[in-house]
Amino acid sequence: MRFVLALLALLILAIALSVAGMGPFIVTREGQFKIALFLGDPTAVITQPGIDVTFPFVETRSFDGRWQHLGAERKEIPTSDQERIIIDSYAVWRISDPLLFYKKFPTGMAEAETQINQQVRGKLREVIGRRTLAEVLKEARGEIMGELTAKTAEAVKGFGIELNDVRINRTELPRRTEENVFARMRAERDRLARKYRAEGEEQARRIRAEADREARVVVATARGQAEIERGKGDAAAARIYAEAYSRDAEFYGFLRGLEAYRKTIGKGTTMVLQPDHEFFRLLSRGSERGGPESSGSTE
Amino acid sequence: MARTGGSEERKVGRLLGRLLLGVLLLGGAGAWWATAGWFVLNPGEVAVILRFGAYARTVTTEGFHLKIIPSPVETQEIVNVSISQRREFGDVDATDPEVLAETAMQTSDNNIVHAEFMVQYKIGKAFESRYRVADLEEILRDSAQAAMREVIGRNTIDDVLTGPGAIGLDAAELLQQILDGYDSGLYVGSVELQNVQPPESVRDAFDDVIAANQDRNREVNEAEGYANEVLPRARAEATEVLQGAIAYRDAKIAEAGGEAQRFLAILAEYQKAPAITRKRLYLETMEEVLPGVEKVIIEPGTASVLPYLPLGAARGGAD
Mean pLDDT of A10-36: 85
Tell whether B94 and B76 lie within a shared domain: no
Enclosing domain of residue B140: 85-198
User: What is the radius of gyration, based on Cα positions, of chain A?
Assistant: 59
Q: Give the H/E segment covering residue B196.
A: strand B186-197
Domain count, chain B: 2
Tell whether A82 and A156 lie within a shared domain: yes
Tell whether A37 and A109 lie within a shared domain: no
Would you say residue B103 lies in a domain?
yes
Would you say residue B218 lies in a domain?
no
How close are the terminal C-alpha atoms of chain A, in Å? Answer: 182
d(CA B21, nearest CA chain A) in Å: 13
Tell whether B42 and B115 lie within a shared domain: no
Would you say residue B19 lies in a domain?
yes
Tell whether B170 and B95 lie within a shared domain: yes
Tell whether A19 and A114 lie within a shared domain: no
Tell whether A154 and A89 lie within a shared domain: yes
Tell whether A57 and A79 lie within a shared domain: no
**End-of-domain residue from the set B60, B80, B100:** B80
When mean pLDDT is compared across A127-136, A178-187, A273-282, the lowest value belongs to: A273-282
**End-of-domain residue from the set B80, B112, B127:** B80
Tell whether B46 and B138 lie within a shared domain: no
- Which residue stretches of chain B have pLDDT < 70? 1-6, 299-319
Tell whether A45 and A135 lie within a shared domain: no
Tell whether B100 and B23 lie within a shared domain: no
Residue among A66, A265, A274 whose CB faces B132 most closely: A66
Residue among B202, B259, B293 whose CB faces A271 most closely: B293
Tell whether A19 and A84 lie within a shared domain: no
CB proximity A138 to B under 8 Å: yes
Tell whether A51 and A74 lie within a shared domain: no
A71 secondary structure, DSSP code: E
Domain count, chain A: 2
Whether the pLDDT of residue A113 is over 70: the answer is: yes
Q: Which residues contact B229 (CB under 8 A, 6 or more apart)?
A: none
Q: Where are the alpha helices (DSSP H) in A140-280?
A: 141-155, 175-245, 249-264
Tell whether A85 and A166 lie within a shared domain: yes
CB contact under 8 A, B252 and A229: no
Tell whether A78 and A50 lie within a shared domain: no
Give which of A159, A192, A179, A180 is closest to A91, Cα–Cα: A159
Buried b (16+ CB within 10 A) or exposed e, B254-283: eebeeebeebeebbeebeeeebbbbbebbe
CB contact under 8 A, A275 and B216: no
Percent of chain A at pLDDT above 90? 42
Tell whether B57 and B97 lie within a shared domain: no
ipTM, 2 dp: 0.71
- pLDDT tens per residue across span A24-66: 888 888 999 999 888 888 888 888 998 888 888 888 889 999 9
Tell whether B89 and B193 lie within a shared domain: yes
Measured CA to CA, the distance from residue B86 to residue B93 in angstroms comes to 20
Residue A294 has what pLDDT? Answer: 40
Residue A299 has what pLDDT? Answer: 31
Tell whether B48 and B118 lie within a shared domain: no
In a mutagenesis test of the B interface, which of A86, A96, A182, A298 is the best target, namely the one with the most B β-carbons within 10 Å? A182
Would you say residue A36 lies in a domain?
yes
C-alpha B121 chain-centroid distance: 26
C-alpha B256 chain-centroid distance: 69
Tell whether B103 and B62 lie within a shared domain: no
DSSP per residue, B264-308? HHHHHHHHHSHHHHHHHHHHHHHHHHGGGSEEEE--TT-GGGGGG
Closest chain B residue to the Cα of A162, Cα to Cα: B182
Closest chain A residue to the Cα of B178, Cα to Cα: A165
Would you say residue A276 lies in a domain?
no
CB proximity B232 to A under 8 Å: no
Measured CA to CA, the distance from residue A267 to residue B294 in angstroms comes to 8
Whether the pLDDT of residue A150 is over 90: the answer is: yes
Residues in chain A: 299
Tell whether B96 and B117 lie within a shared domain: yes
Give which of A148, A74, A161 is closest to A111, Cα–Cα: A161
**End-of-domain residue from the set B53, B80, B107:** B80
Tell whether A51 and A135 lie within a shared domain: no
- Kindly report the average pLDDT of chain A as a whole number: 86
Would you say residue A282 lies in a domain?
no
Would you say residue A90 lies in a domain?
yes
Would you say residue B58 lies in a domain?
yes
- Kindly tell me the burial class for residue A253, based on how many C-beta atoms sit within 10 Å of its own C-beta (0-12, 13-18, 19 or more): exposed
CATH label of the domain that carries residue B122: 3.30.479.30
Residue A5 has what pLDDT? Answer: 86
Would you say residue A188 lies in a domain?
no
Percent of chain A at pLDDT above 70? 93
Would you say residue A16 lies in a domain?
yes
Would you say residue B151 lies in a domain?
yes
Would you say residue B36 lies in a domain?
yes
Residues 26-85 of chain A whose Cβ lies under 8 A from any Cβ of chain B? 27-32, 48-51, 64, 66-69, 71
CB proximity B32 to A under 8 Å: no
**End-of-domain residue from the set A36, A61, A86:** A61
- B222 CB neighbours in chain A (<8 A) are 204
Q: Which residues contact B243 (CB under 8 A, 6 or more apart)?
A: none
Closest chain B residue to the Cα of A251, Cα to Cα: B267
- Kindly tell me the burial class for residue A297, based on how many C-beta atoms sit within 10 Å of its own C-beta (0-12, 13-18, 19 or more): middle
Contact A76, A153 (CB under 8 A): no
Give which of A87, A88, A74, A82 is closest to A176, Cα–Cα: A82
Closest chain B residue to the Cα of A255, Cα to Cα: B281
Tell whether B62 and B162 lie within a shared domain: no
Whether the pLDDT of residue A152 is over 60: the answer is: yes
Contact B163, B120 (CB under 8 A): no
∠ at Cα B97 (A187, B167), nearest 5°? 60
- pLDDT tens per residue across span A198-252: 999 999 999 999 999 999 999 999 999 999 999 999 999 999 999 888 988 888 8
Buried b (16+ CB within 10 A) or exposed e, B240-250: ebbeebbebbe
Contact B177, B151 (CB under 8 A): no
Residue B18 has what pLDDT? Answer: 87
Would you say residue B188 lies in a domain?
yes
Identify the sign of the CA torsion A13, A18, A23, A27: positive
Would you say residue B2 lies in a domain?
no
B47 secondary structure, DSSP code: E
Would you say residue A119 lies in a domain?
yes
Which has the higher per-residue pLDDT, B54 or A297? B54
Measured CA to CA, the distance from residue B295 to residue B220 in angstroms comes to 74
CATH label of the domain that carries residue A116: 3.30.479.30
Tell whether B190 and B98 lie within a shared domain: yes
Enclosing domain of residue A15: 2-61
- pLDDT tens per residue across span A66-98: 999 999 888 889 989 888 888 999 999 999 999
Model pTM score:
0.71
CB contact under 8 A, B298 and A274: yes
Residue B300 has what pLDDT? Answer: 65
Closest chain B residue to the Cα of A211, Cα to Cα: B227
Indicate the pLDDT class of residue A298, thresholds 50, 70 and 90: very low
User: What is the radius of gyration, based on Cα positions, of chain B?
Assistant: 57
CB proximity A24 to B under 8 Å: no
Residue B166 has what pLDDT? Answer: 94
Whether the pLDDT of residue A116 is over 90: the answer is: yes
The Cα diameter of chain A in Å comes to 194
Contact B82, B44 (CB under 8 A): yes
